Amino acid sequence: MNWRRVFLVVLLVGGFWFVTTHLPQGLSRLGSLSNVSGDKSPLALTEAHAAPNYDSEEQNNIAVYKKALPSVVNITSKSMTVNFFYGQVPQEGQGSGFILDKAGHILTNFHVIADANKIEVMTSDKRTYKATIVGSDKVHDLALLQINAPNLQPVTLSDSSDLIVGQKVYAIGNPFGLNGTMTRGIISSIRSIRGPEGAPIEDAIQTDAAINPGNSGGPLLNSRGEVIGINTLIATGGAEQSSGIGFAIPVNTAKAALGDLTKYGRVRRPSLGIVSLAINPDLADQMGLAVESGVLVQRVVPGGAADRAGIHGGNQQAYLGNMPILLGGDLIVEIDGTEINNTTDITAVMARHQPGDAVTVTVFRGRKRLTLKLALTEGREVST
C-alpha cells in the first residue's frame, strides 16, 4: 500500500517537472484560461501591412494642394478705429492672397486691406513680412501688394473666359484664421453680381466650395491647380459663414487691371462722360420716348467723350418722385452693337475698353435714331 502512495507522489512530481520544463506553451494556455476567471483579455489590433493606395480623385486633390499651397499667403491688416468714447483703438482683420511673381507681388481683395495702416503677410513657411500697397482697385475689389522675401513660388494663372458650370474647383485660404485650408466644389453658375462697393462684377464665378471669412483674396483653382478666380464674396443669409454660395472675381478681370495697378497704382477706367438715368417701359411711356428702355443722358461732362461727340444732355427740369431730373437729352440704346437697358450694361461695355478706345454709340434724339462715334476718355466715375 505504501509503495503505491510513493509511486503516485513520484508520478505527480515527475509530471509537474515535465510540464514546466518541456511544455511552456501549455502553461501559457493555462495562463490564458486563467484570464477567463477574471483577468482582462489582451487588446488585439488589426493593422494595415502597407501605406494606403489613393484613388485618382484623392491623388488629384493632393496634387492641387501641394502645387498651390506654397503660393498662398495669410494677410493681416491693422488699422485704428474710434470707439464709443471717441478714443482710438486698434482693429485687426485677416484675409488671404497669392503670390504672382518672384519679385513678391501679391494679389488680394481691396476690402482685405482697406483703411489699413500696417499690413503683414505670412507665407506658407510661417515667415512674416511687412507688405506695401502697390495699387488698388476699389471698384472691382482688387489690391496689389508687395513683400521682400526670398524663394517665392508664384501661382499659375489660367484663362477664365471658357469656364463651364459643373467643373471642379478648389479654394485655398485662411478661413477663420485656419491657415492653409483647402475646400472643394464645383462651378455652380457664372453670373454678374454687385461687388462690395456696389459696382458690377461681370462673369463672376459662383461656387459651392466652402468659402468663409478669411478666404477673401485667396485663389479659386481648377483641377490643374491654376488660378481661375479670386474669392471675394459669400452669400450668408445673415449667418456670417458659408451657405454653399460663394463668388470669385474671374482671373481675366484681375489680369486686365494688373498693368494699370503696377504702373499707375490705380485702374484707369474709360468713361462716356455723362450723368444718366436708366429708363424702363413705365418711364418711357410717361416721358413720351421713342423706345421702352435705354439710358437717358441728363447731363454731359464738359470736355468728356460724349461732349466731344455731340451727344446732347437734358434741358427740361422735372422730378422723379422727390429727385430732380433733366429731360430732353439723348437716349442711349446701343454701344458697339450691345443693347443698353441700364447703367450696368454701360459699365459692362466699358470694362472691355481702355481710355482712348473708339466706340459707336446709337441714340434716339426725339424720334430720330442716330449713330455717333466717340473716343472714350478716362473717368473717375464708377458707372459711366
Kindly list the catalytic residues. Answer: 111, 141, 216
- Residue identified by cell 513520484 is 10
- Cα(340)–Cα(258) distance, rounded to whole angstroms? 28
Cβ neighbours around 98 below 10 Å, total:
23
Listing DSSP states for 5-26 in one string gives: HHHHHHHHHHHHHHHHHH-HHH
- Single out the residue of 231, 237, 176, 171 nearest to residue 204, CA to CA: 231
How far is residue 131's CA from residue 105's CA, in Å, rounded to a whole number? 9
Strands 118-122 vs 128-130: parallel, antiparallel or unpaired: antiparallel
- CA-CA distances (angstroms) from residue 61 to 51, 64, 175, 286, 302? 18, 5, 19, 58, 56
Amino acid at residue number 316? Q
User: Going edge to edge, which strands form the sheet with 118-122?
Assistant: 128-130, 118-122, 72-82, 88-99, 105-108, 142-146, 132-137
Distance CA 80, CA 89 (A): 6
